[in-house]
Amino acid sequence: MGVPISYNLRNLIERKATTLMTAVGIALTVAVLVGAVALVTGLSSVFAATGDVRQAIVLRKGGTAELNSVVSDSACQLIKQKTQVARNGDEVLASPELVTVINLPSVDSPSGMNLTVRGLGPVGIHMRNLAIFQGSWFHPGRREVVVGQSIAKRYPGASLGKTLKFGRGEWVVVGVFAGGQSAVNSEIWCDLGQLAGDFDRQANWSSVLVRANSTTDLDALIDDIKNDRNLGATALKEQEYYAGMTSSGLPMEVLGTAVAIVMAIGSGFGAMNTMYAAVARRGREIGTLRSLGFSRKSILLSFMFESLALSLVGGIIGCLIAFPLNGLTTAVGSFQTFSEVAFNFRVGVLAIVAGLAFAAVIGALGGFLPALAASRRDLLQSLREG
């Protein structure tokens, strides 16, 4: 038969101070891990929400990012002629685009952060199906820009009506568009011709966003572009392209996990010391349990449960500590765009489960040796103690 669970719970309650100190140590460890998971989950959700399943991004041959890609206008015209490319009436759904980076001071970084500026035409806006939140869209041929909501929120100098200085002059912010949770919410958009003129990039674009008639045609279109020697280009599915940017959060995830592991070692020793102290103080109780017929295995499992219960209390506290991060907006620099991408922390089911599982591991590792010591105590010697 097993030792009643109520016995272990009462012992944890009686040792309030020790239980609380050990639980807090585990809680801080779990909070760090949950924060790291919430960061990566939030960043992944931003890139997962970006792109259309029917669209692909065309880059130079061997290219992996728009910023260091060059696609000629002649190649763009050849792409528009391909039969797999979708059309909306007379309009071909292929958008040549130019991408560059500018530096603007933000609320968090007064010295400035890099932001993506995208030059595109009306067809590019139509293909992304976005709506203006404030103001209006920029007018072709004018030095006007629209910014994503994240930009307007984090950069006071880029709010509606403000003037930005980049390229060869000033640009007026005439609108704020609602990019939702997607990566485009962290971009500045303007007229393709005006941006190309400022940076001497006429007829040489960074990429071409193209929509196929269907997902089946998209695969065929990508293969066609890759195999067409006249283009010197490659193509990636739009969603896959943005999913690859999730690596931006990898260093922070690795750092957060490393810190959590180091803290976990300390918390594990703390749990172990707590349980060893419990075993030392409860020698007579252990002897009594043995005399009542409880086996060594039952005592081992009983003390293991007590350690796990202690660690899970710490895990729950740690999740509660980390929960206020949920929805908090922050940003990281992307290695592919060399600019900032804003996102929200997401303390969801994955982060909570990871935190509680991590706490359970700490409790299991920290409690096994003390539990083993308790189960091996001599019956007569235990009864003499106290």
DSSP readout, 252-311? HHHHHHHHHHHHHHHHHHHHHHHHHHHHHHTHHHHHHHHHTT--HHHHHHHHHHHHHHHH
Instruction: Decide if 97 contacts 118 (C-beta within 8 A).
Output: yes
pLDDT in tens, 228-280: 988 999 999 998 888 776 655 566 667 667 777 777 777 777 777 776 776 66
Question: Does pTM surpass 0.85?
Answer: no
pLDDT band at 10 (very low <50, low <70, confident <90, very high): confident
What is the rounded distance in angstroms from the CA atom of residue 272 to the CA atom of residue 289? 22
| Structure-token match 């007590």, residue found | 306
Distance between CA atoms of residues 192 and 174, nearest Å: 16
- The pairing of strands 144-148 and 169-178 is parallel
What are the φ/ψ torsions at residue 99 (nearest 5 degrees)?
A: -120, 135
d(CA 148, CA 39): 21
At 339-377, the pLDDT tens digits run 667 778 889 898 999 999 988 888 888 888 777 776 666
Which range in 9-18, 214-223, 247-256, 291-300 is most confidently predicted, on average pLDDT?
A: 214-223
| Per-residue pLDDT, 3 | 64
**Identity of the residue numbered 164:** L
Contact between 148 and 160 (Cβ < 8 Å)? no
Q: What is the pLDDT of residues 158-215, one digit of tens each?
A: 899 999 999 899 999 999 998 777 778 889 999 999 999 999 888 899 999 999 999 9
**Residue 121 · residue 191 · CB < 8 Å:** yes
Q: What is the pLDDT of residues 23-56, one digit of tens each?
A: 888 888 888 888 888 888 887 777 666 778 999 9
User: Is the CB of residue 143 less than 8 Å from the CB of residue 137?
Assistant: no
Quickly count: other Cβ atoms within 10 Å of residue 255's Cβ.
12
